[in-house]
Amino acid sequence: MILIADSGATKTDWVAVEKDNSAHKYETAGINPYFLKPYEITEILEKELLPFLNGSRVEKVFFYGAGCSTEKKRFVIEEALENVFPAGRFEIYHDLLGAAHALFGNNSGIACILGTGSNSCYYDGNDIVENVTSLGYMYGDEGSGTSMGKKIITAFLKDQFPPELKNLFNEKYDLNIEKILDATYNQPKPNQFFSSFSMFLSENISHQFIKEIVLTSFDEFFENQAGKYSVIKKVPIGFVGSVSFVFEKELKEVAKKRGLKIERIEKNPIDGLVEFYKNKSF
């Protein structure tokens, strides 16, 4: 059996592929080496994944994850995988390469991620050859659920909501400045706190105030990330991630204004990754 994983900040999608090419999907908590230590990742795998594998021998794991861009962080994942699958071999990659493999296979393109966080790269069909650094939720992540959530919360705190929108927000969330600041500065994973407001944006996208937040966020993504690649009008552009999937119409609207055409949007890259590995020998 081989395991293929795509991990973001919120969740990890797993597919177990048997020798007869049958595949089984599972989901665990998000696994990011910037937020979790090896023993914490081991605990997630033992509790949320291992029971479903029914003792099957895992020969190889292909793990694509947010935060896995450096050797030091990849080692955190490898240590945890070794704890759980001592007989396995492991290949650990950044989730951005996973997006590229899922979207384009062995062809070139601009691969973008818009989910809890954001990222982009120019992929030449073999490897990432250009990457504009995203800088994470503190300094970047333009166009992401986290970035949009920060805009919403800022508008709420500064009392910039139109009255009817403010009423809807207060009905849905029991928030005040103390709770928001605590979630931002004292609680773990503030990026997920901000990103959780993507649902409110989706539910109220017809309101011009909300739509402007979404359009501005996507414009910032192209301005600061994807638009920096000189080949962007020469190769296909593709997106993975829940935010690009939910706000597909608005994303394509912003791209069109910039003279760009998005050729593919996938909510999750895992199916494309399974297809990518289907005919490979291990």
In a domain, 146, yes or no: no
Predicted confidence (pLDDT) at residue 137 exceeds the cutoff of 80:
no
CA distance 190 to 157: 16
How is 77-101 classified by DSSP, letter by letter?
Answer: HHHHHHHH-TT-EEEEEEHHHHHHH
What are the tens digits of pLDDT across the range 29-73?
999 898 889 999 999 999 999 899 888 888 999 999 988 888 999
pLDDT digits (tens, 9 = 90+) for 160-210: 999 999 999 998 998 888 999 888 898 877 888 898 999 999 999 999 999
Residues 259 and 242: their CA atoms lie apart, in Å, by: 24
Buried/exposed 243-259: b ≥16 CB within 10 Å, e otherwise: bbbbbeebbbebbeeee
N residues, the chain: 282
Q: Residue 49 and residue 44: Cα distance in Å, rounded?
A: 7
What pLDDT sits at residue 279?
63
| CATH code for the domain of 58 | 3.30.420.40
Asked whether residue 127 is assigned to any structural domain, the reply reads no
pLDDT bracket for residue 139 (50, 70, 90): confident
What residues does 25 pair with on adjacent strands?
A: 15
Q: Work out the average pLDDT over 239-254.
A: 95
The answer to the question of residue 231 being in a domain is no
Query: Which residues are CB-contacts of 199 (< 8 A; sequence separation ≥ 6)?
Result: none
Q: What does the pLDDT look like over 58-117, one tens digit per residue?
A: 899 999 998 888 899 999 999 999 999 998 899 999 989 999 999 999 999 999 999 888
Identify whether 196 is part of a domain.
Answer: no
Residue at 135 is within a domain: no
Query: Which among 48, 226, 86, 87 has a CA at the least distance from the CA of 143?
Result: 226
The backbone region for 126, taken as left when phi is positive above 0, alpha when psi lies in -120 to 50, beta otherwise, is: alpha
Using an 8 Å Cβ cutoff, are 108 and 125 in contact? yes
Buried b (16+ CB within 10 A) or exposed e, 77-97: bbbbbeebbeebebebbbbbb
Check whether 21 has a pLDDT greater than 80: no
pTM of the model: 0.82
Domain encompassing residue 63: 2-100+270-277
Question: Is residue 203 included in any domain, yes or no?
Answer: no
Checking if the pLDDT of 253 tops 60, the result is yes
pLDDT band at 280 (very low <50, low <70, confident <90, very high): low
Please state, in angstroms and rounded to a whole number, the distance separating the CA atoms of residues 101 and 269. 8
Asked if the structure places residue 53 within a domain, the reply is: yes
**CA 110/CA 277 separation, integer angstroms:** 20
Q: How many domains does the chain have?
A: 1
Q: Which pLDDT value is given to residue 193?
A: 87
Q: Please report the pLDDT score of residue 76 as a whole number.
A: 94
Closest C-alpha to 96, from 239, 252, 254, 246 = 239
Residue 89 lies in a domain: yes
- CA-CA distance, 255 to 250, in Å (whole number)? 9
Beta bridge partners of 169: none
pLDDT at 237 over 80: yes
